[in-house]
Structure 1
Amino acid sequence: MADQTNFDELYKEWKMKTEELMNRFPEKKEQFKTSSDIEVDRLYTPETVDEGYIEKLGFPGMYPYTRGIQPTMYRGRTWTMRQYAGFGSAEETNKRFRYLLDQGQTGLSVAFDLPTQIGYDSDDPMAKGEVGKVGVAIDSLEDMEALLHKIPLDKVSTSMTINAPAAVLLAMYIVVAEKQGVSPEKISGTIQNDILKEYIARGTYIFPPKPSMRLITDIFAFCSKNVPRWNTISISGYHIREAGSTAAQELAFTIANGMAYVDAALDAGLKIDEFAPRLAFFFNGHNQFFEEVAKFRAARRIWAKIMKEKYGAKKEKSLQLRFHTQVAGSTLTAQQPDNNIVRVTIQALAAVLGGTQSLHTNARDEALALPTEDSARIALRTQQIIANESGVTDTVDPLGGSYYIESLTDEIEKKVEEYLEKINDLGGAVSAVEQGYMQREIHQAAYETQKKIESGEEIVVGMNKFTLEDEPKPELHRVDPELQRKQTEKLKSVRENRDQNRVSARLDELRQGAKGTDNLMPLIINCVRDYCTVGEICGVLREEFGEYTGV
């Protein structure tokens, strides 16, 4: 009791001193808020945190996983350093992959060009001007073989940012592995495969929601039996945040989407503990350092409770939210691009202190062009310095127990639960997407942020404050302007040298499968083996499923 009395007296004295200073400097009285509109107090004390926070905090590797999903976290091993790369041709990207692996990268992450992402071949009129621009062009199995040339697929984990045609690209990866002598049960990696966030924020969708969900659950079922080490979906908040959402919206909308995928899999007859251990998440690492740390901690706790209490999952791995983080591309500036190195470092550190399982750090020049080799290396070195020089990996969850962190974690959890209740009232994530609810919420949040930047209320160093009149122009990476012609010629050669009768037969089998209810993954793998192209396979599915045109 004496200790509590002493604390109360000291706290009262501190408040008096604070008020005295604030009266002398009234301009400093403004209320600070996080991106999620959570008011930030001037000081956090034991009185700030919710009663029972010790139980919610728990221990690392134990339910509800607030402090991390592994008991030893980075004292066991560091996160996977998975730099996102892809541009131009498969051969060029292969060179960049092998360079990054030589520099100490521990996993691959593939960026595909826009035609590939929306199921068009490089010679399609819809692909004109976009081939190889924002990622690598993949038209057929021949391109995937070139992309993964001399990369041992039984030793390297690969993440592929692909959604609507995810089944096709995964099929290509499986077949290339087989050609290397690596069986499907030995390959590991992740496909993004999250179509709901495409409707919400990103836009690289092809098919309407219902057949898209069928493809996703087909992948779940196929991989649970045949590719057990593969993460069958990366439920993505990253793009929701890039579109302008708050931290709480990013978390709420992503978790709502995750619940929709679980519901779809259960409706398809799968058992929760058959597929839930291979669900993964993908979050944004944004600027507000402490809010981001708290967001990641809240995410684990919320998902664990949902999986245990709502879905009755029994396996420990079914309860654990595993996630990859990429730092925020939307915060990078074309002005004074070297400042982006600092932004990336802060965001990456927040992801590490929040307990990420893998991490991509953006390059300093990505607001201007695809990264140069030098800037990609600096981005990777940023992770390596955090891992090996900063000391933040020496202990598990070093910020756990901070009054501010625990209070923020609780506040974010409350806001997320409010959003989830609203989405549930609308009929779930798919219905909320169809009604445009999440889209409107994100647009409003983005609008409010932009107003603050333009008014100067929110400072962006080098852009709206601390600017330079004459900035040096950095050296930029350029995509070969002849790439579309070269890719089209390569595609023509593939078509001339394959067995066209087998191609026609395989595509017809896929068409008949799409009309029925059988799992489509084996049919797509057969198409890929006979060098059917991405555009041909997606073209058949377009004819049977239709195309989504938005709300």
Structure 2
Amino acid sequence: MNDTTSLARKPLYTAADLEGVPWLDAGPGEYPYLRGVHASMYTGRPWTIRQYSGYADAAASNLAYRRALEAGAKGLSVAFDLPTHRGYDSDHADIAADVGVAGVAIDSVEDMARLFDGVALDRVSVSMTMSGAVLPVLAAFIVAAQEAGVDAAKLRGTIQNDILKEFMVRNTYIFAPEPSMRIATDVVRYVLEQMPHFNAMSISGYHIQEAGADGVLELALALANASEYVRRLIGSGVDVDRVCRQVSFFFAVGRDFYGEIAKLRAARVLWAEFARSLGARDPRAMQLRMHCQTAGSTLTARRAQNNVVRTTVEAMAAVFGGTQSLHTNAWDEALSLPGEDAATLARDTQLILQHEMGLCDVVDPWAGSYLMEAQTARTVEAVRTTLTQIAAQGGVIAAIESGWVEARVHEGAARIQAQTDAGERAVIGVNRFRAPQDDESESLETDTRKVRSLQADRLRRLRARRDPHRVSAALERLAEVARSGGGNLLSATIDAMRARATVGECTSALEQVWPRWSAPVRADRRAWARARASDTAWEAAKDAVAMWRRSRGRAPRIVLLKLGQDGHDRGVRVVAAALADAGFEAEIGPLFVTPQLAAQWTIPHSPDVVGVSTLAGAHLSLVPELVERLRATRIDAPVVVGGIVPRADHARLMALGVAAQFGPDTPLDSIVHKLLSVMTHVTTAPA
């Protein structure tokens, strides 16, 4: 059984495996586009190097973008910080620690103009990973371009605008599913009318795989989401060819080399069939275009330089699968935000593949392979089966609301972690051929206080010079469009941003109609128990917890928290499931809380230990404040931290009151023993 798909693979394939396999005679650029969407593929033009980046403020990111373009990048992909994703201005009191940390802070048209200063927006395509605050962010981009002399009709690129995957896995939503779907479809309608060269929606499978799904489930959920969007738009009278032409996809490419190539080939077949079944006749509408990114979940903190090899092979799989553009991860991203040298090497990896290794010389070199054609056909059938299961749930939104999607993805994440901890899933340098962890990287550090201060000052000046009556009228109009159901939300937001409203103000106007939405974070101990049954090391960990319980007459209690705007919950859910199986009483706190609110939520749970999961780089601000808040509420439970923390920050956190730290490669049985040690006040070195 391979690691990332539900399909078994044989050691030998022969011509017999091709019996009954369709499409073998289809050429590249021909329906169902198995061999690629263009006849010449990379022999005519290489894939676009599109590195996802953004940090601090717009000026800092602009410098990085211009350097990337000078060094060979053909497109830009913008990473926004978490407050922007969640529709907050940078001066909002509750999000201070996250400003400019995991992406660039954008509050206004002026910020967007600084972000793309000197970039020819009529020639350089821009991809923006934004779904939650898609209205004000895309509006700011359009207005900034227009004021720079570039008409919206000339803009090239993609807006993600895929809110359903946020409800499945990533959690950077703002409003409930139904109003969020209204926003997403209004964006598509506007782009279809005004921006013919711009992709109105990028359906993301990437985040679904990163959360724990295998390749089959990733593709099935992405296609199910696409189907929901497209059917709604067609039902409202939009032409099917126009909709499907401006939808693209975004996939993860992980460690299963053969399976990932087959997945990307299968994706084109399934989309072509789906578009044709709805009545599409334009070949461009039936051609699935994709962006791929190497999998962040395969990067390791131990022997982190091994990630160079992992990323290179994953990039090759994306190329062999026929991607249109590609992002390659930096090798140090399991340690911190990427350093400049690591980011440069990630980009150069693609240039080497394009210009030195001959990968662009042949169209679909895997065509006719016994293995690849059989694997592609089986992937197609497995995805169809999963789509049938989703339909049986009542459709993808019903499957989200019932918890079916969450359970499937969570079970996959638990299985992967359990296989890694047990050594069944080889990770070189972590659980096989392990050597001392002696590598360190120069991580990118962001002075959040400086960025926040700069952004707050810019917001003050913007608000002082704008026409308040014009802004107020535009925001009232935006709220009325949301309330009445008439008009287009993106058009109204463009008017508001042109009047110099801010991202946060546009979001607040919509909150008058649609309150912010939240969902509980759940973990199922059975998902872990099934994956780690009869494992000696895990049984020993459970025995240790049982001994603790017998000595105290109750189970140990742990509260697991996410702080700030970091909604990535794969890790905290897997840890909670494992600890519950081990015998802990494990409770997960709500997402998107301040340290003060997290401390208040913790009080009634009376924990023996408090765990914080951090993945977004704001640990030095949020964790010490949590420690202070807990002490103020007289909770003396030790605080431990797990996730991505640069080694340079370990001592600082320990000095500020953190009792133990766990890197992303720490096995769960080791975490159990360390927690028991911490709870009994035994001093040990951080994991």
Question: TM-score interval w.r.t. the shorter chain?
Answer: over 0.9
* 2:400 counterpart residue number: 433
Alignment of 1:54-73 (within 5 A): 55-56=23-24, 58-73=26-41
The whole-number CA distance in structure 2 between the counterparts of 1:57 and 1:206 is 47
Q: What residue identity is the alignment partner of 1:304?
A: A
* 1:201 counterpart residue number: 169
1:486 is displaced (CA, Å) by 2.1
* Partners of 1:34 and 1:40 within 8 A in 2: no
1:51 is displaced (CA, Å) by 1.6
Structure 2 alignment gaps of length 5 or more = 521-687
Q: Does 1:248 align with 2:200?
A: no
1:33 is displaced (CA, Å) by 3.0
The whole-number CA distance in structure 2 between the counterparts of 1:271 and 1:550 is 34
Q: What residue identity is the alignment partner of 2:281?
A: K
Q: What residue identity is the alignment partner of 2:475?
A: L
* Partners of 2:251 and 2:293 within 8 A in 1: yes
Match of 2:300 among 333, 343, 367: 333
Q: What residue identity is the alignment partner of 2:411?
A: Q
Q: What residue identity is the alignment partner of 1:85?
A: S
* 2:507 counterpart residue number: 538
Alignment of 1:143-542 (within 5 A): 143-309=111-277, 311-481=278-448, 482-516=450-484, 517-542=486-511
- Quick check: 475-484 or 85-94, which moved more? 475-484
Q: Does 1:134 align with 2:102?
A: yes
1:280 partner SS: strand
Q: What residue identity is the alignment partner of 1:159?
A: S
* 1:95 counterpart residue number: 63
1:52 is displaced (CA, Å) by 4.3
TM-score by length of 2: 0.74
The whole-number CA distance in structure 2 between the counterparts of 1:454 and 1:102 is 43
Q: What residue identity is the alignment partner of 1:117?
A: H
* Partners of 2:48 and 2:326 within 8 A in 1: yes
* Partners of 2:21 and 2:377 within 8 A in 1: no
* 2:13 counterpart residue number: 44
CA deviation string 1:157-190 (max 9, x = no partner): 0000000111211111111111111111111010
* Partners of 1:82 and 1:106 within 8 A in 2: yes
The whole-number CA distance in structure 1 between the counterparts of 2:73 and 2:336 is 22
CA deviation string 1:353-402 (max 9, x = no partner): 00000000111111122222211111111001111111121111001111
- Quick check: 489-498 or 227-236, which moved more? 489-498
TM-score by length of 1: 0.92
* Partners of 1:109 and 1:158 within 8 A in 2: yes
CA deviation string 1:447-466 (max 9, x = no partner): 11111000001011112222
The whole-number CA distance in structure 1 between the counterparts of 2:116 and 2:11 is 53
The whole-number CA distance in structure 2 between the counterparts of 1:541 and 1:441 is 33
* Partners of 2:466 and 2:500 within 8 A in 1: yes
* Partners of 2:3 and 2:425 within 8 A in 1: no
1:467 is displaced (CA, Å) by 2.2
Q: What residue identity is the alignment partner of 1:486?
A: L
The whole-number CA distance in structure 2 between the counterparts of 1:395 and 1:359 is 18
* Partners of 1:57 and 1:67 within 8 A in 2: no
The whole-number CA distance in structure 2 between the counterparts of 1:219 and 1:487 is 27
The whole-number CA distance in structure 1 between the counterparts of 2:89 and 2:188 is 26
How many residues of Structure 1 are paired with residues of Structure 2 in the alignment?
A: 518
* Partners of 1:97 and 1:108 within 8 A in 2: yes
**Residue 57 to residue 297, structure 1, CA distance change in 2 (3 Å):** farther
* Partners of 2:21 and 2:374 within 8 A in 1: no
CA deviation string 1:393-417 (max 9, x = no partner): 1111001111000111111111101
* Partners of 1:115 and 1:130 within 8 A in 2: yes
* 2:88 counterpart residue number: 120
Q: What residue identity is the alignment partner of 1:363?
A: A
The whole-number CA distance in structure 1 between the counterparts of 2:108 and 2:293 is 28
Runs ≥4 in structure 1, deviation > 3 angstroms? none
* Partners of 1:56 and 1:64 within 8 A in 2: no
2:511 partner SS: helix
Answer 1 or 2: higher relative contact order, Cα 8 Å, separation at least 6: 1
1:35 partner SS: coil
1:39 partner SS: coil
1:490 is displaced (CA, Å) by 1.8
**Residue 286 to residue 314, structure 1, CA distance change in 2 (3 Å):** same
1:105 is displaced (CA, Å) by 0.5
The whole-number CA distance in structure 1 between the counterparts of 2:519 and 2:25 is 42
1:203 is displaced (CA, Å) by 0.4
- Quick check: 89-98 or 460-469, which moved more? 460-469
1:281 partner SS: strand
1:164 partner SS: coil
Q: What residue identity is the alignment partner of 2:371?
A: Y
* Partners of 2:110 and 2:144 within 8 A in 1: no
Q: What residue identity is the alignment partner of 1:204?
A: T
The whole-number CA distance in structure 2 between the counterparts of 1:388 and 1:470 is 34
Match of 1:548 among 514, 517, 530: 517
1:129 partner SS: helix
Q: What residue identity is the alignment partner of 1:45?
A: T
Q: What residue identity is the alignment partner of 1:49?
A: L
Q: What residue identity is the alignment partner of 1:374?
A: D
The whole-number CA distance in structure 2 between the counterparts of 1:37 and 1:470 is 33
Q: What residue identity is the alignment partner of 2:376?
A: T
* Partners of 2:113 and 2:145 within 8 A in 1: no
1:88 is displaced (CA, Å) by 0.5
CA deviation string 1:411-469 (max 9, x = no partner): 11111011100111112111111111111100001111111000001011112222222
2:234 partner SS: helix
CA deviation string 1:462-498 (max 9, x = no partner): 1222222241322111002422222212211211121
Alignment of 1:76-95 (within 5 A): 76-95=44-63
* Partners of 2:212 and 2:409 within 8 A in 1: yes
Q: What's the % identity of the aligned pairs?
A: 42
The whole-number CA distance in structure 2 between the counterparts of 1:237 and 1:303 is 14
1:56 is displaced (CA, Å) by 4.8
* 1:27 counterpart residue number: none
2:127 partner SS: strand
Match of 2:75 among 107, 121, 125: 107
CA deviation string 1:248-293 (max 9, x = no partner): 0000010000000111111222111122100000000111111000
* Partners of 2:136 and 2:502 within 8 A in 1: no
2:77 partner SS: strand
1:91 is displaced (CA, Å) by 0.6
The whole-number CA distance in structure 1 between the counterparts of 2:90 and 2:349 is 35
The whole-number CA distance in structure 2 between the counterparts of 1:335 and 1:479 is 24
* 2:535 counterpart residue number: none
* Partners of 1:144 and 1:173 within 8 A in 2: yes
The whole-number CA distance in structure 2 between the counterparts of 1:385 and 1:90 is 30
